[in-house]
Each structure stands twice: as structure tokens, then as C-alpha cells.
């Protein structure tokens, strides 16, 4: 009898333990005081009132109390109240939240009265004496000039830049970056001497916008400079277009090209520059609104209506798009997916009036973003930088992205290194290629798979329309055992992507976004940029070599 009681008790305990293991993890929501202290919120501010009003944790999934998304819980609640239509699925690594909420949180913490600040003091970037070094020639062909500080010395962090050469006058270059810590107005940079010196201006805030995020720039053949941004106000994200008729010195509002959409994020642009294209000077834009990917086009009569380009091949969120067009006027929009981990391409042969059935170019190992020692807070975004090149005999399309190596123990999100510098799992830059105009794709390759424990991320790819040369830049932690400090590296292909050059270091000093004083929430931002034309390459990137605030830098590279 006693033995039966002991068996029954043991069974009861075993069942209880099993039930406890099977039970969902209970939410442990932070107290209001903990949230205010964690964000260093000043008493009596509008931000304190906003946080007080957004403590309805029952709106969130229980697991959000423990997830890795760097978006404060009160901001998630605030966003959900304005967007009940969102798909806040646990199966989507974005959680259903726009990535730009990271910038929104940073802007709110720096502007706790929640109103735009006065205009930034103008600082002429000019030449940078600290950046000078002797011009070097690599392999008797590639020439790397001096590093230059496009943004000038900054007192607020600048990140996420775009840069573009004026194809009809390569001495003229424009660039742009986020300016969250200042007025929030997107910072615009312009050069009329091939990047030797730079001026600076800002996009005006329109309508009820509080600040901007996610810059994009380009030129039309009449010499007009164009810039896109997200106009952010409260729970509303609109996509704004601006133009400059004085090469970037001043800017005027053009239009809101996202129409009535209010949940837009991660837009980029491309202008058809080809003299042989029937759609020359068309302005293409891509983004995602909630989950799906969208595109729009501006003709001489203005912007069209947004078109959803992603279909059933894409699950989760289509975040991190880019665009390109070739000499025939074929346009391509690229995006990754966070649900089924795909790299997807859609093609338009009628100037963006419609888009064909999307094609899956590759499958990624990780999804959405990757934690690495150099970028453990912001996390390295898996975005696509694509390009296209067409002649009488070549009809190639290229796509590049950051991903895990795929080696044993480095094949899934659970394997990412995070803060562990000793992890054998690493990130690399991958490039995929189609030789039939995007219809089919070969197996992607890692263009620089070093044996050492280092990480590569924030790549950008472009192709020279005059020569077909492909160029790629990226951050690499190679040479640092802690995997925290970075340089910008550069590779090219002169045979249409069949083979790649050895990597060349472009920066002359390392950057560390993990130490005190760095923009800890934003770190390097989500993307860098590169412009290439007629043998001249201008990359742009976030750089903190000065030990102060993050700045935007470039270096002219010349190929034969």
C-alpha cells in the first residue's frame, strides 16, 4: 500500500514537472519605473506622459517580454494602437513592427518634448586633414585615393547613407544620411569637384512630420537631384520625395509617393540613366508596407499608384529592398523575406507600369537580421543590393546579401554568434547571378570566405553601366580577435560575376560601435551605399574613427 502511494506520488510529481515544462513561458513585464529608468526619461516630459499611456501589455504576445527586438515595449503598444491591422506574428522575426521604430525610439529619447528641434548649425565638411594618406595603386590598375569625411565633424550621430554620381557630370555627387540626433531632418551632402570638398543641406519637414529616416538619392539627366525619405509623425510613416535644381544645395518637396499607406518602411530608389532605354529618367521606388513589398514609378507627369510586387512566394515581411535597371530599360526590384527566408526578384519590361511574377533567386540560412559581436545591439540586417547589366551578348542580373556561412553549426538563426567572439559561426557576403535576365539563378557564392573568425556585413553592390564591372563594399572585422572593430573592404568582378578580385581595404582606421560613446542603439545603421560609373567608384559608410559621434565617409576608387 505504501509502495503504491510512493509510486503515485512520483507519478504526480513527474506529470507536474512535465506540465511545467510544456507550459508557455510567463510574461514578466517591466514596471513603469523600470522602463522610465532604462530609457533615462526626464520627469514631466511629453515622453514620460506617452510611456505612462502605453502600458497595456495585454496587447502584446507573452513572449515579447523576452524577445530580442530592440524596440521598447511601450513603443510597440503605441504602434499597435495606431495599426490594429498589422500582422504581429510570432513566426515573423520582425514581430510585425517596422524597423524604423528603432529610429523612432532614438528620436523620442533625444527629443523628450516630442517636437522637432531648431535647424542644425551648418558645418561645411570640406577636406579632412585627418583622412589624408598617400594615393595607392593596387595591382597597377585600381587606384584608391584619400578617405574623406563627407558629413564633416559631427556632434550628433549620422548613419545609413546613400550616394550617387551624376552620370552626365561625374564631378557632381550627392549623398544623404540619417540625422536622428539633430533636428531629425535628413542630412544632404553635395560635391561639385568630384568629392574633394562637400557642402551640406537638409530636407525640409513637410506636413506634420517630426523627423526623417532611411535616405535615398539619385539624379535625372536634366541635372535635377532627387531624394527620398520616410516622413515620421507619431504612428504614421509616409514616403516623401524631394528634388533639388541646384545640385543639392537646397531642396523642395515633390510628393508623397506611398499614397494613403501609413505603415511604410525601408524605401530605396533608382533612376534609369541609360541613353538607350525607352524609360530613361523614370524614378523607381520600393518599400514594404506592413508585410508586402511595393513599388512605384515617377514619369514626367508625376508619381503613379503603388503596386504590390510580392506575391505568395514571400512570407513574413519583405524588408530590405533595392532596385536597378539595364540598358534596355528592364527594371528589377529585389527583396528578402523574413518568413520563408528567400531572396526574391521581380522584373518590369514596361517602365514599372506592371511587374512580372516574382522569381526566388536564393534561400538564406538566417532570416531578417543577425547578431554578431560588432553589431549585437542593432543586429546586421539581411537586405538585398541588386544590379543589372545588359549588352548585345550579356543579360545579367546580380543580387548581394549578408548571411551565415552555411558550414556545419552555422546554418540557422539559432547558430548566429551574438556576442561570442569564439563562435565558429560567421557572417559572409553572398552574391547570386542570373545570366538570362533574372529568369533563373545559379548557386550563390561567398566572395571572400576567409578561414579566420571574422564577420562581414552591411554590403552594397553596383555595376558600371559603361564597362560591366561589378563592385561590392562591406564591413569586415578581420584582424580583430574580438570581432568588434571594422574596416570597409572592397571587391570587384571584371568577368560578369564569374570570378572576384582579392579584397582591398579602403579605410585607414578602424571603427568600434560597441564601446562607450557609440550610438549603442543604432550602431552602424542598416545599410551603406556605393555608386559606380565610368571606372569611378564612390562608396559611403558610417564611420566613428574619430572617437566622437558617427560620421559619413567616402573614398574615391578608380578602375581602368
CA distance 505 to 491: 9
Least confident range from 23-32, 75-84, 116-125, 194-203: namely 116-125
Tell me what pLDDT residue 489 has: 98
Residue pair 493/142 in contact by the 8 Å Cβ criterion: no
CA distance 323 to 330: 11
- Residue 520 main-chain phi, psi, to 5 deg: -60, -35
Given a cut of 70, is residue 14 above it in pLDDT?
A: no
Give the mean model confidence (pLDDT) for residues 154-174: 96
H or E segment at 20?
A: helix 2-22
Give the mean model confidence (pLDDT) for residues 263-267: 98
In a 10 Å sphere around its CB, with 0-12 CB exposed, 13-18 middle and 19+ buried, how is residue 172 labelled? buried
Least confident range from 1-5, 96-100, 210-214, 377-381: namely 1-5
Write out pLDDT tens, residues 384-425: 999 999 999 999 999 999 999 999 999 999 999 999 999 999
Given a cut of 70, is residue 25 above it in pLDDT?
A: no
551: Cβ–Cβ under 8 A, 6 or more apart, which residues?
A: 149, 150, 151, 152, 153, 154, 158, 542, 543, 544
Given a cut of 80, is residue 9 above it in pLDDT?
A: no
Tell me what pLDDT residue 139 has: 55
Give the mean model confidence (pLDDT) for residues 314-318: 98
How many angstroms separate the first and last alpha carbons of the chain?
A: 93
Given a cut of 60, is residue 487 above it in pLDDT?
A: yes
CA distance 171 to 165: 8
pLDDT grade for 119, boundaries at 50, 70 and 90: low
pLDDT grade for 4, boundaries at 50, 70 and 90: very low
Tell me what pLDDT residue 335 has: 98
pLDDT grade for 26, boundaries at 50, 70 and 90: low
Tell me what pLDDT residue 138 has: 61
Write out pLDDT tens, residues 492-527: 999 999 999 999 999 999 999 999 999 988 999 999
Report how far Cα 314 is from the mean position of its chain's Cα atoms.
Answer: 19
Average pLDDT, the chain: 92
Given a cut of 60, is residue 2 above it in pLDDT?
A: no
pLDDT grade for 70, boundaries at 50, 70 and 90: confident
Helix spans in 389-460 (H): none
Q: What percent of the chain has pLDDT over 70?
A: 91
Tell me what pLDDT residue 12 has: 40
CA distance 343 to 307: 19
Give the mean model confidence (pLDDT) for residues 160-183: 96
pLDDT grade for 140, boundaries at 50, 70 and 90: low
Cα-Cα-Cα-Cα dihedral sign, residues 201, 206, 210, 211: negative
pLDDT grade for 135, boundaries at 50, 70 and 90: low
Tell me what pLDDT residue 560 has: 82
pLDDT grade for 313, boundaries at 50, 70 and 90: very high
pLDDT grade for 126, boundaries at 50, 70 and 90: very low
Q: What percent of the chain has pLDDT over 90?
A: 87
Give the mean model confidence (pLDDT) for residues 230-257: 98
> What grid cell was written down for 287?
518599400
Distances (CA, A) of 531 to 249, 301, 470, 495: 20, 27, 11, 19
In a 10 Å sphere around its CB, with 0-12 CB exposed, 13-18 middle and 19+ buried, how is residue 197 labelled? middle
> What grid cell was written down for 512?
568600434
Given a cut of 60, is residue 190 above it in pLDDT?
A: yes
Tell me what pLDDT residue 120 has: 58
Residue 73, by phi and psi: left (phi above 0), alpha (psi -120 to 50) or beta?
alpha
CA distance 252 to 206: 10
Amino acid at each position: 500500500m505504501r509502495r503504491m502511494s510512493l509510486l503515485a506520488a512520483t507519478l504526480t510529481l513527474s506529470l507536474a514537472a512535465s506540465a511545467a515544462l510544456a507550459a508557455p513561458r510567463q510574461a514578466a513585464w517591466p514596471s513603469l519605473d523600470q522602463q522610465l529608468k532604462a530609457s533615462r526619461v526626464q520627469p514631466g516630459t511629453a515622453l514620460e506622459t506617452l510611456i505612462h499611456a502605453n502600458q497595456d501589455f495585454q496587447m502584446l504576445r507573452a513572449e515579447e517580454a523576452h524577445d530580442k527586438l530592440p524596440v521598447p515595449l511601450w513603443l510597440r503598444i503605441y504602434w499597435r494602437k495606431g495599426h490594429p491591422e498589422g500582422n504581429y506574428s510570432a513566426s515573423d522575426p520582425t514581430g510585425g513592427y517596422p524597423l524604423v521604430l528603432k529610429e523612432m525610439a532614438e528620436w523620442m529619447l533625444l527629443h523628450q518634448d516630442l517636437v522637432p528641434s531648431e535647424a542644425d548649425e551648418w558645418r561645411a565638411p570640406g577636406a579632412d586633414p585627418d583622412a589624408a594618406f598617400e594615393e595607392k595603386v593596387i595591382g597597377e590598375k585600381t587606384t584608391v585615393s584619400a578617405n574623406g569625411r563627407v558629413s564633416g565633424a559631427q556632434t550628433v550621430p549620422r548613419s545609413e547613407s546613400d550616394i550617387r554620381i551624376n552620370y552626365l557630370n561625374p564631378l557632381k555627387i550627392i549623398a544623404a544620411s540619417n540625422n536622428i540626433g539633430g533636428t531629425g531632418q535628413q542630412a544632404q551632402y553635395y560635391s561639385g569637384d568630384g568629392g574633394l570638398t562637400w557642402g551640406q543641406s537638409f530636407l525640409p519637414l513637410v506636413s506634420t512630420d517630426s523627423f526623417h529616416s532611411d535616405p535615398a538619392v539619385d539624379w535625372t539627366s536634366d541635372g535635377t537631384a532627387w531624394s527620398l525619405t520616410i516622413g515620421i509623425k507619431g504612428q504614421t510613416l509616409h514616403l516623401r520625395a524631394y528634388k533639388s535644381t541646384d545640385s543639392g544645395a537646397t531642396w523642395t518637396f515633390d510628393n508623397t509617393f506611398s499614397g494613403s499607406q501609413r505603415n511604410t518602411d525601408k524605401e530605396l530608389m533608382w533612376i534609369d540613366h541609360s541613353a538607350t532605354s525607352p524609360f530613361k529618367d523614370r524614378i523607381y521606388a520600393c518599400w514594404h508596407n506592413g508585410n508586402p513589398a511595393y513599388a512605384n514609378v515617377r514619369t514626367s507627369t508625376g508619381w503613379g499608384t503603388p503596386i504590390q510586387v510580392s506575391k505568395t512566394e514571400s512570407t513574413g515581411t519583405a524588408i530590405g529592398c533595392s532596385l536597378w535597371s539595364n540598358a534596355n530599360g528592364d527594371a528589377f526590384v529585389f527583396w528578402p523575406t523574413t518568413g520563408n527566408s528567400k531572396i526574391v526578384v521581380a522584373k518590369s519590361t514596361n517602365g514599372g507600369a506592371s511587374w512580372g511574377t516574382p522569381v526566388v533567386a536564393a534561400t538564406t540560412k538566417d532570416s531578417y537580421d543577425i547578431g554578431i559581436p560588432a553589431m549585437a545591439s542593432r543586429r546586421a540586417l539581411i537586405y538585398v543590393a541588386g544590379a543589372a547589366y545588359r549588352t548585345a551578348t550579356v543579360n545579367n542580373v546580380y543580387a548581394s546579401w549578408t548571411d551565415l556561412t552555411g558550414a556545419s553549426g552555422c546554418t540557422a538563426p539559432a547558430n548566429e554568434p551574438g556576442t561570442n567572439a569564439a563562435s565558429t559561426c560567421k557572417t559572409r557576403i553572398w552574391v547570386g547571378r542570373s545570366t538570362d535576365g533574372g529568369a533563373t539563378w545559379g548557386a550563390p557564392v561567398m566572395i571572400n570566405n576567409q578561414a579566420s573568425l571574422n564577420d562581414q556585413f552591411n554590403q552594397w553592390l553596383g555595376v558600371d553601366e559603361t564597362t560591366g564591372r561589378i563592385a561590392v563594399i562591406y564591413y569586415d572585422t578581420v584582424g580583430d580577435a574580438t570581432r568588434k572593430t571594422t574596416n570597409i573592404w572592397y571587391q570587384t568582378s571584371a568577368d560578369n560575376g564569374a570570378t572576384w578580385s582579392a579584397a582591398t581595404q579602403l579605410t585607414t582606421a578602424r571603427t568600434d560601435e560597441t564601446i562607450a560613446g557609440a550610438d549603442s542603439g543604432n550602431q552602424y545603421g542598416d545599410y551603406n551605399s556605393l555608386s559606380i560609373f565610368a571606372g569611378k567608384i564612390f562608396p559611403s559608410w558610417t564611420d566613428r574613427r574619430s572617437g566622437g559621434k558617427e560620421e559619413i565617409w567616402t573614398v574615391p576608387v578608380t578602375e581602368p
